[in-house]
Amino acid sequence: MNYRLVARLTGMLLLLLAAAMLLPVAVSLHFHDGALLGLVFSACVMALVGLLLRSVVGRGASLELHERESYWITASVWIVVPLVGALPYLLTGSLMSITDAVFESVSGFSTTGSSVVVDPAKLPQGLLVWRSMTQWIGGLGLILFVVALQRRLRGSTLALYGAEFSGTQQRRLHPKIATSVTRLWGIYLGTTIVLIALLALAGNGIIDSFCLALSTVSTGGFMTSATGLDGYSHLTLALITLFMFLSGVGVALLYNFFTFHWRRLRRNDEFIVYAAVYVIAVAACAVSFALRGNGVGVSVTYSLFHVASTVSTCGFYATGLEQWPFAASVVTFLLILSGAMAGSTGGGLKLRRLMTLALYLRNYFTRMLHPNAVFTIRIDRQVVPSDYVHKIFGFVFLYILFIIFGAFALTLCGSGIADAFCLAAANISNLGPSPLINTMGANLEYAMLPTGAKWTLMVLMLAGRLEIFALLAIVSPEYWRKR
Amino acid sequence: MWNDIKALLRLIGILLVAEGGLMGLCLVPAVHFADGTVVEMSVCTAVTLGVGGVLWGCFRRYRRIGDRRMAYLLVVLLWLTLTVFATLPLLLTGATHSITRAFFEAMSGLTSTGATVFSDVQSLPASVLLWRSMMQWFGGFGIVLLVVALSSRLGINRYALYTAEASGADNSGRRVVSTVLAVRRTLAVYLVATVVFIALLWSSGMEMWDAVNLTFTNISSGGFSVNGDSIASVTHLQQYILAVAMLLSGVNFTLLYLFFTFRWRQIGHKLEQFGFYIVLYLLSVAFVVGGLHWSNGYNWGDAVRLGTVQTISALTTTGSVVADTTQWWTPVCFLLLMLSICGGMAGSTSGGLKIMRVLILLRNVRGILYSRLHPNAVMPIRLNGQVVSGHIRSNVMVIFMVFGLTLLLGVMLLMLCGVNATEAIGASVGCLTGYGPGLGASGGFGSYAAFPPMALWLCSFLMLMGRLECMTVLVLLLPRFWRRG
């Protein structure tokens, strides 16, 4: 195992985080929010640890990468970075317990958006900015940072690339991995800047616009007020809805969109399914809202917002409705499990996998009647190999297993069974807060959960973000067996 | 086509005659206890026997079902017809006046689920009580297995039937012995076990009436009881005897047969899933016992007894209840529900996913992990020393998916019917796996009496789905199934 390389790459990422801290520090300096010292100090710690790892431990590391290292890098990056990212919460004194700070940080980097901060409006502005930046950095994937930074890596960079997008058969934008990664970041950055500008033009404060835009584009879901998105204008909500929908589309596909290769969009089966799912879910929710006596206009607009927020696993909510029907909870729960498109920043099982499974099931039933028939599954006019289908089955099985074990651990911490399932599902799919959780049982505030439950949820968030296999690979005995 | 349908009707006729015969047996307690249902039970018996006899007689010459589709249709129609006739004693004796409730109870009986709509069982007439136990005993064994046994020489496409009913994963049993032989052995084991356990319970001081009923419902992994508190009020020794009965009901019948006929060498290479079953069981018992002791304050003796028996009851999806489980610590309830999803071994009367499938699913995950670390390695999955073919792997995975999806949709639809979330989860798991008791009002000594009618119909459907392992029912819903050619 090439530990030096692992340390070096982790260190580089920490240095980058320290550099990113400059923005919160600047904001803090401008607003005199009293968090300056804490932020500067945590930036210094990040830089120090980063330097130590990069230049002392990782000095002279060979840049040869193997499969095994790529898993180890993924895991170490995703454990070290959220831990270090928790420093600003602690050092500014905003969150007093280590569990809370790490929870907020993990929730941010995994783009879940579950928050233990009771009233975000009371956080210092600098920290608020950092909080939303964690989601943005985690959104596209920490590993993609690494790949973009260390262009001289040799060997299986593809495995590294795939560690965060496992099992979805990413189509690269460019034969060179580093180039495609740069393009992905370009799109991501561009979308974010556009949304910030639009939100600011819609009359929101600059900090608000910044935080909401970062939460939206990364499908994280941290909000800046304790009451969700209640106080915002209709225009703001409409913009956010649109961009949530767009973030549910794969980033690679958005690249095609912005470079006017629209034909590829139309040929993409997954996109068509995504759009169809969105429309059907909106219709179902709107009808159920309207039947409960909400106005038609409110029902439709709120459904548009709510479904976009759920299917992209963003997790924004606004209490725009008086009556929340069960039917909407049902739709919501199904959407949580399905998630958005493969390659997007959202979580969940991903539509491409579900499409493959659905087609496989259809073929299976037909085979029950015609035992000797041979079928293939085609998506985007390409045959899906059966090996890949087996992998998807394995993934779905593990996903459900994680939800079950997560829910079990939550009941150990005192949750009811139904609540436990909702919490586990919402966090493994990186959704975070949702009206669903509040209607299934008692009002569940993440801040009120016991410590054990918080750590369970953290594991679930990371498992969901890394799509389980990367996390599971390094704890399997097979991984550590000497060759 | 028409010949197939006639042959199908003939088989239904045969089974109805069998059912009518069992109904006739319920006349014994009706007369003995003089519960005033002699006339009603006689009418039910006559009607069932009559319809069955007419069908059998009219179509006796049509013996061959060649079409695969007919086999699927047969299985589902059989259960539905038998259920409809099984509601007769419940309705005519006035045990319930609602068709919904009678259908639910009959379905729960014939699928050996054990969910009941009667909140006060003891007020039912003796003949109805015996009929409830009888349904489970009859259904638990698997009506289709009976069909195969009865028609073993009659030229039905036996293999198609057998795969339709259950145990798709159990290839090992079928490879060694032919289907017919397996069925005969199963029947032999089942009958002997029933007699033995009745004798055991009776000699431990139980009334004959209770002994017969409890044996019928526990050996079939059903879970109905003639007492309002299930098996909580019988002595400790009797609870342990019943636990053994339940445990056996979750073991593959071929294994049992080989074991009791001293062919232990043949068992040797089939023990893998049995080993997993035992390990899973011991781990769960340890957790449940600990939870009951520390969290619910039972003393160690009670905790061990309650924990052991209730865990067996859950893992084999029997659903007999030893204590008011609704008061138990939430994680324990959760674990029991999950165990019932695992279910017993393939080729037993228990429901759920079946241990063998769970084992294959877990091995599959291990294989995938391995192949991610060594992308070029080819790693077959082995079970009992034999390679599990890709066909069976995908078979298992599809059933898992469909099972999970049905479970999820069951919960969702039950919630739409107005059942609260926790109870919906409990009821959906309880009905689909054949465990029976759910959570909340339907858990413990409770009943499904408070469920709205829509929810009861849904639960009945879930029980049918669970017993027939989803696929057989779902394939009927495909448009392609009904298309010609």
**Whether B127 contacts B26, CB under 8 Å:** yes
Residues 322-341 of B with CB under 8 A from A: 330-331, 333-335, 337-338
What Rg do the C-alpha atoms of chain A give, in angstroms?
22
Give me the pLDDT at residue A158, please: 64
Give me the pLDDT at residue B197, please: 95
A451 touches chain B (CB under 8 A): no
Other beta carbons within 10 angstroms of residue A305's beta carbon come to 22
B29 or A158, greater pLDDT? B29
- The distance in angstroms from the start CA to the end CA of chain A is 11
A366 touches chain B (CB under 8 A): yes
Q: Which residues contact B376 (CB under 8 A, 6 or more apart)?
A: none
**Whether A344 contacts A337, CB under 8 Å:** no
Give me the pLDDT at residue A105, please: 95
B413 or B229, greater pLDDT? B413
What distance in Å separates residue B344's CA from the closest CA in chain A? Answer: 19
pLDDT exceeds cutoff 70 at A482: no
Q: CA A402 from chain center: how many Å?
A: 17
- Determine the Cα–Cα distance for residues B289 and B304; give it in Å rounded to an integer: 5
Give me the pLDDT at residue B61, please: 83
Q: What percent of chain A has pLDDT over 70?
A: 91
Other beta carbons within 10 angstroms of residue A55's beta carbon come to 14
The predicted model gives A392-415 an average pLDDT of 91
The predicted model gives A40-67 an average pLDDT of 86
In angstroms, the Cα distances linking B207 to A104, A152, A167, B212, B319 are: 62, 82, 61, 9, 22
Phi, psi of B298 (to 5 degrees): -70, 150
B422 touches chain A (CB under 8 A): yes
Name the nearest CA neighbour of A116 among A360, A373, A405, A446.
A446
pLDDT tens digits for range B60-97: 887 776 666 777 787 788 889 999 999 999 999 888 88
Chain A residue with minimum CA distance to B341: A404
Q: With an 8 Å Cβ cutoff, are A440 and B68 in contact?
A: no
Mutation for testing the A interface, residue in B70, B75, B330, B407 having most A CBs under 10 Å: B330
pTM exceeds 0.80: yes
Residue with tokens 């992308």: B375
State chain A's mean pLDDT as an integer: 84
Name the nearest CA neighbour of A225 among A350, A128, A322.
A128
- Determine the Cα–Cα distance for residues A71 and A77; give it in Å rounded to an integer: 10
- Determine the Cα–Cα distance for residues A349 and B103; give it in Å rounded to an integer: 38
- Give, for B274, the enclosing helix (H) or strand (E): helix B272-294
A420 touches chain B (CB under 8 A): yes
**Whether A245 contacts A312, CB under 8 Å:** yes
What SS3 state is found at B339?
helix
B337 or B166, greater pLDDT? B337
Least confident of A1-10, B344-353, B438-447: B344-353
B474 touches chain A (CB under 8 A): yes
What distance in Å separates residue A406's CA from the closest CA in chain B? Answer: 12
- Determine the Cα–Cα distance for residues B334 and B197; give it in Å rounded to an integer: 30
In angstroms, the Cα distances linking A152 to A14, A149, A175, A274 are: 19, 9, 15, 37
Chain A residue with minimum CA distance to B376: A67
With cut-offs at 50, 70 and 90, classify the pLDDT of residue A453.
Answer: very high
Give me the pLDDT at residue B160, please: 39
Q: With an 8 Å Cβ cutoff, are A394 and B365 in contact?
A: yes
With cut-offs at 50, 70 and 90, classify the pLDDT of residue A320.
Answer: low
| A to B CB pairs, distance under 8 Å | 117
In angstroms, the Cα distances linking A273 to A302, A342, A344, B4, B440 are: 22, 12, 15, 41, 39
Q: With an 8 Å Cβ cutoff, are B397 and A390 in contact?
A: yes
Other beta carbons within 10 angstroms of residue B4's beta carbon come to 18
**Whether A88 contacts A24, CB under 8 Å:** yes
Amino acid code (one letter) for A293: G
Burial of A298 (0-12, 13-18, 19+ CB in 10 A): middle
- Nearest CB among B68, B398, B404 relative to A361 is that of B398
Q: With an 8 Å Cβ cutoff, are A408 and B68 in contact?
A: no
Residues 325-354 of A with CB under 8 A from B: 326-327, 329-330, 333-334, 337
Give me the pLDDT at residue A405, please: 95
Give me the pLDDT at residue A172, please: 63
Helix axes A417-428, A451-465, angle to 10 degrees: 40
- Determine the Cα–Cα distance for residues B351 and B315; give it in Å rounded to an integer: 9
- Nearest CB among A71, A400, A441 relative to B404 is that of A400
The 3-class SS string of chain A reads: CCHHHHHHHHHHHHHHHHHHCHHHHHHHHHHCCCCHHHHHHHHHHHHHHHHHHHHHHCCCCCCEECHHHHHHHHHHHHHHHHHHHCHHHHHCCCCCCHHHHHHHHHHHHCCCCCCCCCCHHHCCHHHHHHHHHHHHHHHHCHHHHHHHHCCCCEECHHHHHHHHCCCCCCCCCCCCHHHHHHHHHHHHHHHHHHHHHHHHHCCCCHHHHHHHHHHHHCCCCCCCCCCCCCCCCHHHHHHHHHHHHHHHCCHHHHHHHHCCCHHHHHHCHHHHHHHHHHHHHHHHHHHHHHHCCCCHHHHHHHHHHHHHHHHCCCCCCCCCCCCCCHHHHHHHHHHHHHCCCCCCCCCCCCHHHHHHHHHHHHHHHHHHHCCCCCCCCEECCEECCHHHHHHHHHHHHHHHHHHHHHHHHHHHCCCCHHHHHHHHHHHHCCCCCCHHHHHHCCCCCHHHCCHHHHHHHHHHHHHHHCCCHHHHHHHCHHHHCCC
pLDDT exceeds cutoff 80 at B222: yes
Residues B294, B300, B302, B304, CA torsion sign:
positive
Residue with tokens 């709107």: A286
- Determine the Cα–Cα distance for residues B303 and B289; give it in Å rounded to an integer: 5
- Determine the Cα–Cα distance for residues A42 and A90; give it in Å rounded to an integer: 9
The structure tokens listed for A124 are: 């210092």
- Determine the Cα–Cα distance for residues A393 and B113; give it in Å rounded to an integer: 29
Least confident of A265-274, A309-318, B161-170, B426-435: B161-170
Residue with tokens 């028996």: B309
What distance in Å separates residue B369's CA from the closest CA in chain A? Answer: 6
Name the nearest CA neighbour of A214 among A126, A115, A317, A133.
A133
- Nearest CB among B334, B369, B402 relative to A411 is that of B334
pLDDT tens digits for range A355-394: 999 999 988 888 877 777 888 888 888 888 887 888 888 8
Angle at Cα B465 formed by Cα A419 and Cα A329, nearest 5°?
30
With cut-offs at 50, 70 and 90, classify the pLDDT of residue B404.
Answer: very high
Q: With an 8 Å Cβ cutoff, are B335 and A469 in contact?
A: no
Other beta carbons within 10 angstroms of residue B294's beta carbon come to 11
Residues of A in contact with B479 (CB under 8 A): none
- Determine the Cα–Cα distance for residues B10 and A477; give it in Å rounded to an integer: 57
Residues 94-133 of B with CB under 8 A from A: none
Q: With an 8 Å Cβ cutoff, are B394 and A389 in contact?
A: yes
Q: With an 8 Å Cβ cutoff, are A473 and B365 in contact?
A: no
State chain B's mean pLDDT as an integer: 83
